Homo-oligomer: A and B are copies of this chain.
Amino acid sequence: MKNTVRPPLGGFSTAFLLAQVGAHAAARFAERLEAVGLTPPHAGVLRVVNTSEGMSQQALGEILRVLPSRLVVLIDELERRGFIERRDHPTDRRSYALYLTPAGREVLQRVGRAAREHEDALCAALTTTERAQLGGLLRRIADEQGLARGVHPGFSRMRASK
Binding site for B on A (CB under 8 A): 3, 5-27, 29, 43, 47-48, 50-52, 108, 111-112, 115-116, 118-119, 122-126, 130-131, 133-135, 137-145, 147, 149-154, 156-157
Contacts and interface: CB of A to CB of B under 8 A. Distances in A.
5 contacts: A5-B52, A6-B51, A17-B139, A19-B29, A27-B153
Number of copies: 2
Contacts of A152: 16, 19-20, 23
Contacts of A124: 144
B29 A22 contact: no
Closest 4 CB pairs of A and B: A22-B22, A11-B150, A125-B144, A19-B26
Contacts of A122: 14-15, 18, 141, 145
A32 to B, nearest CB: 10
A8 B51 contact: yes
